[in-house]
Structure 1
Amino acid sequence: MITSMPERRPHAVLDAASRSAKALKIERLLNLVNRPQPLRLLEIGTGSGGIAQYFADHDSMRCEVVAVDVVDNRSVSDGYEFHLVKGVALPFADANFDVVISNHVIEHVGDVSAQAQHLSEIRRVMKQDGVGYLAVPNRWMLTEPHYRLMFLSWLPEAWRTPYLRAMHRGENYDCVPLTVPHLERLLGNAGFKHRNLSVEALRATFEIERPYTPGARLLRALPDTPLRMLRRLIPTLIYELHRPDNGAPGRG
Structure 2
Amino acid sequence: MSTVIMESQNNVSYIYLNRAERYNALNKEMLEELLKVLETVEKNDDKVVILAGYGNAFSAGGDVGMMKDFADKAFFDGVMKTIGKIVLKLYMLPKIVISAVQGSAAGLGLSIALTADYVIAQNESKLGMLFIGIGLAPDGGGHFLLKERLGTNKAKQFTWGLKQVGGQQAKAMGLVDILTDKQVVEEATDMGQKLLTTPLTAILKTKMMYHSKQKETLEYYVEEERKAQWELRHTEDHQEGVQAFLEKRKPVFRGK
TM-score (norm 1): 0.26
Query: What TM-score results when the alignment is normalised by the length of structure 2?
Result: 0.26
Larger fraction in helix: 2
